[in-house]
Amino acid sequence: MKKFTFTVEVVGQDVDTDTVRNTIANSVQSFGDYRAVSFDEVQPLAEQGLKVWAKRRAGISLAAPKAVKAPKVVKTEVAAS
């Protein structure tokens, strides 16, 4: 027998943790003989914390796009004849 552990992180304003837990438990019911789906904790995220979490864990950048710089104008010298 082998035990497999999966981590699921959900970020939102208000999440019904019982519904999420029950949905996951029902979804994995057919994969194994036993299962335990639990809810651990809620961690409040500040705006910067959300950006860091999204980039590191979900691979999504929530940073505001940087302004596009104007292309540099190349000056050419005119040779005097």
Task: Give the confidence band of 26 by pLDDT, cuts at 50, 70, 90.
Answer: very high
31: which DSSP letter? T
CA distance 11 to 40: 14
pLDDT tens digit sequence for 37-60: 999 889 999 999 999 999 999 899
**Assigned token pair, 14:** 């208000």
8 Å CB contact between 31 and 37: no
8 Å CB contact between 11 and 53: yes
Judge if pTM exceeds 0.75: no
**Closest-CA residue to 53 (of 45, 37, 3):** 45
